Amino acid sequence: MTQNSLNRAVAKATGESISVIRSLGFSVADPDDASFDPERPLRRRPRIRIIDWDRLAAKRGGYLPQRSRCR
């Protein structure tokens, strides 16, 4: 199936114009690849960045003064 025939089929099924369907960027997914996600073609898991503030402060040597508790 070509991109043009896909756009025409989606436009016919939805009632939208072909230009609107073209701007939305439909594509044919591989039926053998069930995990296909066109928004993430590289299939990499997002890196979650967590800052351990205690470890960072210990590494820096504690440049900030410690707060004293009010009694």
Compute the mean pLDDT over every residue in the chain, rounded to the nearest whole number.
77
Domain boundaries, the chain: 1-30
The tens digit of pLDDT for each residue in 23-33 reads: 888 877 766 76
Whether the predicted model's global pTM rises above the 0.75 cut: no
CA distance 18 to 33: 27
DSSP letter for each residue of 12-69: HHH---HHHHHHHT--PPPTT-TT--TT-TT-PPPPPP---HHHHHHHHT--SPPPPP
What sign results for the dihedral spanned by CA atoms 5, 8, 12, 13? positive
Cβ atoms of 22 and 9 closer than 8 Å: no
